Structure formats: C-alpha cells, structure tokens
C-alpha cells in the first residue's frame, strides 16, 4: 500500500513557467562600462540609472589603484577571512573606513546585500524585539527574517507611531520584568530610504533611544558619501555624535563605486561580527582589487569634500525641474540623489501601471536618457511600494544634461499618459 502511495504522488513542477513577456525577464544589455555615457540595448544614452553618485566608476585613479592591486594579488582571495583570506588591503580598508567615519572599528563584507542581512541576525535573536520602518529595504527584511526576532513595523518616518509601539512594549515589560531584563530592543532605520528617497528623523530617534533604551542600527547605503559636509552620512548631516548610533552599515556599491559593504561602530559592537556574522565567516573575502578601488575612492572623497555640495546642488536643480509634470509625482527629498517618479493616478492594476511606466522608460531611452524602473519582488516584500521610475543624479551630469533629462521626461510623460 505504501508503494502505491509512492507511485501516485506527483510533486508540483520545480518552477512555475514564466511568461515570455514578464517585465523582468528580458534584461537590458549594457555594452561597455556602465558609466556616464552608457550604451543600453545598442542605444547611446546619458546615465540616469546607475548609483554612481560621485562619478567614481570610471575615475582613472581608482582604476589605476585596482590595476596595481590586480598585478600584485591576482583576482580572487581563495578563502574566507579566517583561513588566509585576510589581505593587508582588507585591514587597510577597515582602518581607513573607521577613521573616515570616526568610529573605533569597521568590518568589511564581500557583498552589499549580505552586509546588513548578516549584521542583524548576529545581534538580534529569537525573543528579541526589533522596531523597523515599513519602507525598509529588502536586505533588512531578510536580515530580520533570519534573526527570528519579534518584528514591529512602524509607519514610515512616523515618530509618533514608533513611540506608541515603544510605549506598548514598556507596558508589556512591566507585566513581566524578568523577561524584559533579557529581551534586547533594536530600532532599524535607513539614513536615506531606497524605496522612498526620504531621510529618517535621526535626532528624534536618538531621543527615543535613550528614553526607551533601544539600540539603533542605521543603514546608510544611500546616504554614505552623499550627505554631510564630508560625506559621512546622515549623522554628520544632523550633527549627531556617531557614538550615539550603535551600528552603521553601508554598502560600497553606491558612492564608492566598488563592490561589498561595511559596518562600523564601537569595537564592543563590531568585534562580535567577526565570529558570528554569517556573511563574514563563511564566505570568501572581498577580492583585493575591489578593496584597493574602495581605498582610492575614499582618498578622493577625503581630498575634495567640495563634491558633496556640488551633488546637492544638482539634486536640488533637477528636483525643481521635475516638479509639476502632469501625470507623474516626484517622491523624495530635494537633496536625495535617488528619487522616484510615481504615477499620480494609478490605473488600478499594478501590471498596467508597470507597463505604462515601462513605456515611459523605453521612450526616454529612445531619446538618449537611460532610466530604469525600481524593481521589487512583488510576492516577497512586506510592504510593497507602488511602481515608480527611479531617477539618479550624479556629479558627472552637466547642467545641460539635467535640463535635457527634465524636458525629455516631461514630453514623454505627456505623450504616454494623456
């Protein structure tokens, strides 16, 4: 009888078939480097889609440093950090990052996504409580899922909502003080949110931290190298002491135009990840040429702190220029280099919205402005943001190009949406 059951059982197919015109199936093919003048699908365009904020992607100094490292070390590291995979470049980079951010220690990961996704489960375990913003990016969501802690979402940037949740937790604590003494609390926020382009209200968060005794983990992927007078991120922007933030995590794939990520903070906090960060202990270390490129990029950032002001200027300019497009609304702060253009009135179905926006993107590409839609995994996101076009501003874009982009988007939006 058991044999019959085994015979009869039919599993589902391993993967469900994907329709040929799934929007994400056909990738844009970029021939050549994804730099300021980019060739997408055979068309030459100006790049308004890669996160190359400081234009370091084809900086000759960065390339030279990487080349020197390649000649000395080869490409791969052939091992994790614990087993002869620690190179002097890694130690150098960690040192430089710690000095730049004015913290005690920094730790490097070989992949940006894995940075925050490994850092959170290293500290927060089952039974701990994490308060996280609804608009947190996917990497944070995966880190939280891996940590198996209690997750409490608060409305995006709404400090009143967060305070309400913290108060509720306090009431719970008083009912059960023994449990409260061992439950850790964390607040996870991003400096500049990838999904909305808005900034987190850090001063209020720090106040809440000391009032309710929760630790803050700040994810600065977008704001590192963008905000602040010297590019140190949102803490410098607000003038908050960096010791007030327990852990700052960022990836080096945006402003530093390299690959990988890092966490920085006090040694007390960071050192723990060297033995319990999964993406650190069980994965090969960052290839030395990428680390050398990051060090050179840091050098450039330190030498001309003027570029941050230039970048801010350009962001403000295009922000103003893109206001008032019929049919599209701009979502994001005026100084955020990556912001979204969403449909003002949605058609009602997400699929149709995505198609419309794709039409806009395609037409813009025909007129040599390379844009992209913000991509999400629709079934997996906790709070799915509405479909949008992401526009990225870099220091390399000249004023004419900014003007041109604004006018092209306006024209195309008019044509497609009306």
Partner 1 sequence: MRPGPGGCCCCRRPARANGCVANGEVRNGYVRSSAAAAAVAAGQIHRVTQNGGLYKRPFNEAFEETPMLVAVLTYVGYGVLTLFGYLRDFLRHWRIEKCHHATEREEQKDFVSLYQDFENFYTRNLYMRIRDNWNRPICSVPGAKVDIMERQSDDYNWSFRYTGNIIKGVINMGSYNYLGFARNTGSCQEAAAKVLEEYGVGVCSTRQEIGNLDKHEELEKLVARFLGVEAAMAYGMGFATNSMNIPALVGKGCLILSDELNHASLVLGARLSGATIRIFKHNNMQSLEKLLKDAIVYGQPRTRRPWKKILILVEGIYSMEGSIVRLPEVIALKKKYKAYLYLDEAHSIGALGPTGRGVVEYFGLDPEDVDIMMGTFTKSFGASGGYIGGKKELIDYLRTHSHSAVYATSLSPPVVEQIITSMKCIMGLDGTSLGKECVQQLAENTRYFRRRLKEMGFIIYGNEDSPVVPLMLYMPAKIGAFGREMLKRNIGVVVVGFPATPIIESRARFCLSAAHTKEILDTTLKEIDEVGDLLQLKYSRHRLVPLLDRPFDETTYEETED
Residues 49-108 binding partner 1 (CB under 8 A) are 49-52, 56-58, 62-63, 66-67, 70-88, 90-91, 104
In terms of CB distance, is 27 or 349 closer to partner 1? 27
Contact call for residues 261 and 252 (beta carbons, < 8 A): yes
**Angstrom distance (rounded) from CA 297 to CA 263:** 17
In terms of CB distance, is 198 or 394 closer to partner 1? 394
Q: Which of residues 312-351 bind partner 1 (CB under 8 A)?
A: none
Strands 247-251 and 150-154: unpaired
Q: Which of residues 385-414 bind partner 1 (CB under 8 A)?
A: 390
Would you give the end-to-end CA distance of the chain in angstroms? Answer: 66
- Which of 101, 106, 110, 202 is close enough to bind partner 1 by CB under 8 A? 110
Beta carbons within 8 Å of 400's beta carbon, 6+ residues apart: none
**Angstrom distance (rounded) from CA 40 to CA 364:** 12
Q: Helix H segments across 258-398?
A: 267-270, 273-276, 278-281, 288-303, 306-321, 350-366
How many angstroms separate the Cα of 105 from the Cα of each of 128, 390, 393? 25, 34, 31
| Distance in Å, CB of 32 to partner 1, minimum | 7
Our finding on whether 5 is near partner 1 (CB under 8 A) is: yes
Q: Which of residues 352-381 bind partner 1 (CB under 8 A)?
A: 370, 372-377, 380
In terms of CB distance, is 99 or 213 closer to partner 1? 213
Strand order through the sheet with 338-343? 328-331, 338-343, 388-392, 372-373
In terms of CB distance, is 105 or 236 closer to partner 1? 105
Could you give the count of Cα atoms lying within 13 Å of 242 in the half-sphere of its Cβ? Answer: 22
Strands 37-40 and 43-47: antiparallel
In terms of CB distance, is 160 or 370 closer to partner 1? 370
**Angstrom distance (rounded) from CA 316 to CA 338:** 12
Our finding on whether 33 is near partner 1 (CB under 8 A) is: yes
Our finding on whether 213 is near partner 1 (CB under 8 A) is: yes
In terms of CB distance, is 137 or 151 closer to partner 1? 137
Q: Which of residues 274-293 bind partner 1 (CB under 8 A)?
A: 274-276, 278-279, 281-284, 286-287, 289-290, 293
In terms of CB distance, is 239 or 324 closer to partner 1? 239
Our finding on whether 182 is near partner 1 (CB under 8 A) is: yes
Q: Phi and psi for 31 in degrees, rounded to 5?
A: -95, 125
- Which of 21, 25, 171, 400 is close enough to bind partner 1 by CB under 8 A? 25
Our finding on whether 22 is near partner 1 (CB under 8 A) is: yes
| Distance in Å, CB of 171 to partner 1, minimum | 17
């Amino acid at each position: 009888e058991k044999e019959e059951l085994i015979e009869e059982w039919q599993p589902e197919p391993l993967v469900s078939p994907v329709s040929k015109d799934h929007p994400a199936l056909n990738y844009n093919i970029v021939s050549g480097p994804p730099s300021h003048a980019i060739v997408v699908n055979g068309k030459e365009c100006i790049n308004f889609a890669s996160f190359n904020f400081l234009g370091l992607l084809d900086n000759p100094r960065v390339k030279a440093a990487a080349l020197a490292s390649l000649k000395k070390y080869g490409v791969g590291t052939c091992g994790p950090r614990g087993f002869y995979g620690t190179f002097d470049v890694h130690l150098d980079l960690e040192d430089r990052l710690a000095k730049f951010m004015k913290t005690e220690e920094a730790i490097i990961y070989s992949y940006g996504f894995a940075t925050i996704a490994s850092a959170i489960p290293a500290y927060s375990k089952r039974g701990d409580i994490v308060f996280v913003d609804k608009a947190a990016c996917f990497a944070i969501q995966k880190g939280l899922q891996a940590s198996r802690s209690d997750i409490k979402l608060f409305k995006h940037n709404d400090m009143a909502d967060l305070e309400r949740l913290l108060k509720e937790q306090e009431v719970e604590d008083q009912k059960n003080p023994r449990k409260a003494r061992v439950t850790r609390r964390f607040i996870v926020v991003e400096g500049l949110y990838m999904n909305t382009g808005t900034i987190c209200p850090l001063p209020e968060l720090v106040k809440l931290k000391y009032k309710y005794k929760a630790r803050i983990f700040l994810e600065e992927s977008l704001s590192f190298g963008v905000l602040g007078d010297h590019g140190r991120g949102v803490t410098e922007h607000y003038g908050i002491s960096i010791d007030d933030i327990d852990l700052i995590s960022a990836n080096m794939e945006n402003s530093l135009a390299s690959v990988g990520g890092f966490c920085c903070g006090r040694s007390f906090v960071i050192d723990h990840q060297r033995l319990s960060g999964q993406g650190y202990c069980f994965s090969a270390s960052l290839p030395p040429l990428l680390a050398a490129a990051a060090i050179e990029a840091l050098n450039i950032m330190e030498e001309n702190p003027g570029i941050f002001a230039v970048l801010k200027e350009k962001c403000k300019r295009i922000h103003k220029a893109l206001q008032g497009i019929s049919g599209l609304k701009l979502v994001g702060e005026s100084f955020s280099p990556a912001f979204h253009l969403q449909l003002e009135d949605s058609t009602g179905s997400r699929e149709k919205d995505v198609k419309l926006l794709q039409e806009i993107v395609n037409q813009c590409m025909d007129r040599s402005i390379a844009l992209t839609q913000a991509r999400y995994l629709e079934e997996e996101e906790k709070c799915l943001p509405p479909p949008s076009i992401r526009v990225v501003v870099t220091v390399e874009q000249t004023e004419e190009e900014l003007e041109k982009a604004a006018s092209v988007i306006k024209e195309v939006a008019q044509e497609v949406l009306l």
